[in-house]
A and B are shown apart, each in its own frame.
Chain A
Amino acid sequence: MSTLRILVPVKRVIDYAIKPRVNPAKTAVVKTGVKHSLNPFDEISVEEAVKIRERNVKSPSSSTPNVDEIIAFSIGPPRSVETLRTAMAMGADRSIFIEVNDDEEPESLGVAKLLAKIVQKEKINLVIAGKQSIDSDAGSVGGMLSGLLGWGFAGQACNITFQKPNFCVIEKEVDGGTETVRGSLPMVITTDLRLNEPRYATLSNLMKAKRKIIDKLTPEELGVDISRRLLTREVTEPLPRQGGGKVEDVDSMIQRLKELHAI
């Protein structure tokens, strides 16, 4: 059985608990001075890659292949390095970083093209990506990457196991339940929330992660044009919903719902 070389793309996004605000010109979301963190789905991807390695280490005779290397990747403004450090503190071996200005972040297609190049360069045979970033909510990088590479794709995975030789069995979240597919490696898998419980990066691991390598690349070096095809014309905040106030008891609740024609 071959060994796994896993690529885990990660993104620095506004923390999930923060309510984003639009700038006065309505051109973008305010990002300066706002708490950012690792995209929650990417945390799960990193965790899964590390878990696969640990499963193999624990029982080398199992069908889980040996993990040769886990590489984290990110593209973003300079501070995205922090997210790569977090990924490495969780267990990624090294990172690849492409630095761009805040307003130059590519859309999914650009990211997928960069990833496809890195997959070839680093001889990756498994990509574990989050199912969506919680800022753009597009959910398309993983699917696009699998298309560009001509690899199998399993989206929204909630369970990943391996079978000899080189087969990966993935249970996926679908509407109304789950379904299970079996694909042969190489593959692209995107992770759902229920795949695992990500570990915290401990302080000592964060310190160790500082010594791990981050290779910096540019889109030009990879020969990828990341210019945007989707232009944001305007961003707005939805009009706030007006709460209708509270009622005293169950009878008035029924009464009020009737007035609103809800029942």
Chain B
Amino acid sequence: MTPNLLELNFNIDKCSEFLRLLIPPFSSKMISRNGFTFGRLARPLRSPAKPASTFFWTRLLSSLAVLEQKDGKLNQNALRAITAAQQLGGPVTGIVAGGNIQELAKEISEIQGIQKILVVDNPAYEKGLPEFFAPLLIENIKKGGYSHVFAGHTAFGKSVMPRVAALLDVSQISDITAIINENTFVRPIYAGNIISTMESLDKVKIITVRGTAFQPAETQGGSASIEAGTDPKVNFPIEWLSENLSITDRPNLSSAGRVVSGGRGLKSKEGFDRVILPLADALGAAIGASRAAVDSGYADNSLQVGQTGKVVAPQLYFCIGISGAIQHLAGMKDSKIIAAINKDPGAPIFQVADVGLVGDLFEKVPELTNKLKQQAV
């Protein structure tokens, strides 16, 4: 969306078809500017809250943002899916489903950037099981005629969206980090070692969004209308039994501003807890771990950062006793600042770290923790 076009304010309903013929809406210049020269993975390309009406081609675009919720609380990634949907330029509708969500619906209606929310109040959707949730989305996608459907690339998005795509007979575009135009998206492949630009030929685009690549939408100041969504009321022989979530008062790993992450160098669970926890406390940081640390039982599975775990991009990512295998780098190399303490001066982590310290982590980290505490950062 070229800058000069941003300033135009057409009557979109009347002019769009005509102008489409006259002006190619997406110039190649823009593509090179936005998509192909990524260093660190995509940052949001433009501010999220541009009024949709300034784009003259918006009439044909309309997006549905799938708003993941749990126990009446919106998932952070839902806000990021909204931002991605907004970047396309067309009107954005949100959909939320679950038991007792009227309160949440009101909150959502104040999120900036959505015009309408579809609310389906039915406990069948509470657990986000794909067997129920996919038919719900399909009904509402068909009814609303959306061209793009966005969801976060979370455990929920990963299980629901492929089913939706297959049932609509379209491909899925997974884990995008940038939007180039309505058909073209950027996504990392090979554990983030390669950036791929893909063009979709499908009429409906089913997209999951990498949370760290999009800013969350503002939760105040919007005024979306609330409507009841279509509820297909499917029966399916699958049953949610239980969950086992790690309860913590620390910041959430995926959205924390600072992350302290420990690896094999911690040598034991006791070592991990004794060294990592105080540093995380001193920094007000979330805790992460390498796969080696998780596999050795030093830390919980849900804390794993990497290609097969979580992808994070905090302001500060602190690696303690992590060598920096590509699998791990895939999950954190878009962090703003990377700091590392490792006793091996040749560890690959030092090739990406902004600040590296070679030394025994059992000495250096407690020293660092104490000094940080004294300075109360």
* Partner-binding segment picked from A79-87, A119-127, A239-247: A239-247
Q: Inside 8 A of A262's CB, which chain B residues have their CB?
A: 258, 315-316, 336-337, 339, 354-355
Return the CB mask of B224-251 against A: 1 if under 8 Å, else 0. Answer: 0000000000001111111111100000
Q: Which of A19, A112, A142, A238 contacts B38 (CB 8 A)?
A: A238
Q: Inside 8 A of B315's CB, which chain A residues have their CB?
A: 262
Q: Inside 8 A of A245's CB, which chain B residues have their CB?
A: 356
Return the CB mask of A89-114 against B: 1 if under 8 Å, else 0. Answer: 00000000000000000011100100
Q: Inside 8 A of B240's CB, which chain A residues have their CB?
A: 179-181
- Quote the shortest CB–CB distance from B150 to chain A (angstroms): 15
- Quote the shortest CB–CB distance from B364 to chain A (angstroms): 6
- Quote the shortest CB–CB distance from A17 to chain B (angstroms): 8
Candidate in B189, B200, B258 with the most chain A CB atoms within 10 angstroms = B189
Nearest opposing residue in chain A for B356, CB measure: A246
Candidate in B167, B193, B246 with the most chain A CB atoms within 10 angstroms = B193
A181:B353 contact, CB within 8 angstroms: no
CA of A241 to CA of B170, assembled, Å: 36
Q: Inside 8 A of A184's CB, which chain B residues have their CB?
A: 237-238
A152:B237 contact, CB within 8 angstroms: yes
Q: Does B184 contact A (CB under 8 A)?
A: yes
B189:A263 contact, CB within 8 angstroms: no
Q: Which of A16, A145, A194 contacts B301 (CB 8 A)?
A: A194
Q: Which of A155, A235, A243 contacts B159 (CB 8 A)?
A: A155
Q: Does A175 contact B (CB under 8 A)?
A: yes
B199:A177 contact, CB within 8 angstroms: no
B195:A237 contact, CB within 8 angstroms: yes
B197:A233 contact, CB within 8 angstroms: yes
CA of A255 to CA of B310, assembled, Å: 30
- Quote the shortest CB–CB distance from B148 to chain A (angstroms): 14
- Quote the shortest CB–CB distance from B102 to chain A (angstroms): 25
A190-230 interface (Cβ within 8 A of B): 192-194, 228-230
Return the CB mask of B269-286 against A: 1 if under 8 Å, else 0. Answer: 000000000000001000
B129:A155 contact, CB within 8 angstroms: no
Q: Does A118 contact B (CB under 8 A)?
A: no
* Partner-binding segment picked from A4-12, A50-58, A62-70, A133-141: A133-141
A233:B184 contact, CB within 8 angstroms: yes
Q: Does B326 contact A (CB under 8 A)?
A: yes
B357:A249 contact, CB within 8 angstroms: yes
B355:A144 contact, CB within 8 angstroms: no
B242:A134 contact, CB within 8 angstroms: no
A251:B371 contact, CB within 8 angstroms: yes
Q: Does B36 contact A (CB under 8 A)?
A: yes
A144:B163 contact, CB within 8 angstroms: yes
Nearest opposing residue in chain A for B171, CB measure: A229
CA of A262 to CA of B194, assembled, Å: 27
A137:B355 contact, CB within 8 angstroms: no
* Partner-binding segment picked from B12-20, B59-67, B172-180: B172-180
Q: Does B54 contact A (CB under 8 A)?
A: no
Candidate in A16, A174, A256 with the most chain B CB atoms within 10 angstroms = A174
B158:A235 contact, CB within 8 angstroms: no
Q: Which of A109, A180, A232 contacts B171 (CB 8 A)?
A: A109
Nearest opposing residue in chain B for A158, CB measure: B301
Nearest opposing residue in chain B for A227, CB measure: B201
B239:A183 contact, CB within 8 angstroms: yes
Q: Which of B170, B172, B190 contacts A135 (CB 8 A)?
A: B190
Candidate in B160, B200, B283, B308 with the most chain A CB atoms within 10 angstroms = B308
B245:A176 contact, CB within 8 angstroms: yes
Nearest opposing residue in chain A for B364, CB measure: A250
- Quote the shortest CB–CB distance from A149 to chain B (angstroms): 9
Q: Does B164 contact A (CB under 8 A)?
A: yes
17 extra interface residue pairs, beta carbon distance < 8 Å, beyond A176-B245, A231-B200, A246-B358: A17-B326, A109-B165, A109-B169, A138-B175, A144-B162, A147-B166, A175-B155, A177-B243, A179-B242, A182-B239, A229-B200, A230-B198, A230-B201, A231-B199, A238-B39, A247-B355, A260-B354
Q: List 22 A-B contacts (CB under 8 A).
A: A109-B170, A134-B190, A144-B165, A147-B165, A153-B159, A155-B130, A155-B158, A156-B159, A175-B154, A179-B242, A192-B308, A229-B171, A230-B198, A241-B352, A244-B353, A244-B355, A247-B356, A254-B368, A257-B316, A257-B339, A262-B336, A263-B372
Residues of A in contact with B (beta carbons under 8 Å apart): 14, 16-17, 19-20, 22, 29, 107-109, 112, 131-132, 134-148, 152-153, 155-156, 158, 169, 172-184, 192-194, 228-239, 241, 243-251, 253-254, 256-257, 260, 262-263
Residues of B in contact with A (beta carbons under 8 Å apart): 36-41, 127, 129-131, 134, 154-156, 158-167, 169-175, 184, 187-202, 236-246, 254, 258, 283, 291, 295, 300-302, 307-308, 310, 315-316, 326-327, 333, 336-339, 341, 345, 350-358, 364, 367-368, 371-372, 375, 377
